[in-house]
Amino acid sequence: MSAPSAAYALVGRIAKAHGIRGEVAVHAVTDRPEAFFASGRVLFAGDARGNPLASKAGPATLTITAVRAHQDALLVTFDAIPDRTAAEQWRGRTLLVSADELGEPDAVEVYLHELAGMHAEDERGNPLGEVTDWYEVPQGILLGLVKDGHETLVPFVDEIVRDIDREARRLVLRLPDGLGA
């Protein structure tokens, strides 16, 4: 998935409908889910690419009416999703907040919405490509790194991502043998 609009930051993704009363399973994509997933909280609805959905009054919003933990997800009830039929239509949609609501990440951290467009290089400064996409998989996040028209999927883990320079929009990677970009 590519980066959402700079005005918004991705905090979750609706995985599937749960039950018959409009509840949905949400995978939080934040290290502070309690800040964004609480009863009464308003989130912006996004498409599968992380871009806000529009309504007549501006960006479409969803108000959380209930939330509870369940296995590896959150079960969330929204005011605009009354039943399972409606909940099924939200599968794969993203949940966004205003980027202004996020604090600055630590020096070696980056928000997912900032990854697209970053340039990657190895520890010697050799270019490895540009991050064009990122993908959420059960094992974590994969970066879609493109060089010379070829995409390589690189795990976004500490063993590989050695440094992040948000200002320079640069990642320093230590790729394992056999994983060339």
Its domain, for residue 77, covers 8-99
Is 20 a domain residue? yes
Calpha distance 43→74 (Å, rounded): 15
C-alpha pair distances (Å), 83 with each of 64, 139, 180 = 14, 31, 47
Look at residues 53, 76, 99 and tell me which one is the last residue of a structural domain.
99
Residue type (1 letter), 65: T
- For residues 54 and 126, state if they share a domain: no
Residues of the chain short of pLDDT 70, as ranges, are 1-6, 48-49, 57, 107-108, 178-181
Same domain, 94 and 29: yes
pTM of the model: 0.68
Q: Is residue 22 part of a domain?
A: yes
Q: Residue type for 68, please?
A: R
Structural domain includes residue 143: yes
Q: In angstroms, rounded to a whole number, what is the distance separating the alpha carbons of residues 22 and 36?
A: 19
Give the span between the Cα atoms of 136 and 94, in whole angstroms.
Answer: 12
Assigned token pair, 116: 């697209």
Number of other residues whose CB lies within 10 A of the CB of residue 87? 24
The label of the residue with tokens 């007549």 reads: 56
In a domain, 94, yes or no: yes
* Residue-level pLDDT at 84: 95
- Number of independent structural domains in the chain: 2
Tokens (6 digits) for 55: 């309504």
- Residue 104 and residue 26 in contact, taking contact as beta carbons nearer than 8 Å: no
Q: Tell me, what amino acid is at 84? A: R
Cα separation, 135 vs 167, whole angstroms: 23
**Residue 2 in domain:** no
Residues 85 and 132 grouped into a single domain? no
CA distances from 99 to 3, 110, 111 (A): 12, 13, 10
Cα within 13 Å of Cα(22), Cβ side: 12
37 with 64: CB under 8 angstroms?
A: yes
pLDDT tens digits, residue range 97-146? 987 887 777 766 777 778 888 999 999 999 999 998 888 777 788 899 99
What is the predicted pLDDT for the residue at 83? 95
Domain co-membership, 12 together with 57: yes
Provide the residue type at 79 as one letter.
Answer: D
Q: What is the pLDDT of residue 180?
A: 62
Domain with residue 156: its CATH number is: 2.30.30.240
Q: Give the pLDDT score at 77.
A: 97
